[in-house]
Amino acid sequence: GPLERRRCRYLRTGRACCQMVEVLLAALVLVCSSVSGGSAGGYTGLPALGGIYYYQYGGAYSGFSGAEGERAQQLDQRFYLLKLPIARAAMAVGGCLLVFPCILILVGVLGVPWHFPAWLLIECTLDIAIAVGTVPALYYFFHCLLGVYNSSVCKEREQLYQSKGYQGFSCSLHGAEIAAGLLGCMATVAYLFSAGLAVRAYRTVHQQKQKPVQL
């Protein structure tokens, strides 16, 4: 009926499209964060085939033996534990950013902004707060990651693996972490744009509600 058509019409508005972009960006941030901290690490020696490194690099590490193998395993585990809090925090932020625009889409579909126009001003304030808060969040994300990569654990781990000719253990940001940062920057722009659309929608609703009174 007319109610269903009005609800579907909202999904074609600029605000809804912007909110769906925010959902997509948050989902990608969540995925990149999980990739950054999802590897449990752990050295896999030749007798213990099937570990994560075995599948990732196409063969078990046969270059380590005895004390070197145990030291590689310890460094992997310590490096993983250093990165784990950062990854969990990034995943928590990504999850919150994923839920928030979904709620806004549901509110828009239900027509709350039309019956309660002040909600659009609240939405604008929240969008600006998230956009501003994302900037220091990104700073601390990269600051903490660089702290882990500059730690003695990472340096020793890198040297140990390089001594055996293994690549991929350098103490530098990898692609998923850089992508998470870029996606966070894009989310900041999307939320600022969404705040502007919320203000414009408030003016439109306010004018439409004043028309019957003027007539």
pTM exceeding the 0.85 threshold for the entire prediction: no
Annotate 25-70 with DSSP letters as a single string. HHHHHHHHHHHHHH------BTTSTTSHHHHHHTS-B-S--THHHH
Summarize pLDDT for 64-101 with one digit per residue, the tens: 667 777 788 888 888 888 999 999 999 999 999 999 99
> Pseudo-torsion of CA 26, 30, 33, 34, nearest 10°?
-170
Annotate 61-114 with DSSP letters as a single string. B-S--THHHHHHHHHHHHHHHHHHHHHHHHHHHHHHHHHHHHHHHHHHHTTHHH
Q: What is the predicted pLDDT for the residue at 65?
A: 67
Summarize pLDDT for 20-62 with one digit per residue, the tens: 999 999 999 999 988 877 654 444 443 443 444 443 443 444 5
Summarize pLDDT for 158-178 with one digit per residue, the tens: 888 888 777 778 888 888 899
What is the share, in percent, of the chain residues with pLDDT greater than 70?
Answer: 81
What is the overall mean pLDDT for the chain? 82
In angstroms, how far apart are the furthest CA atoms of the chain? 89
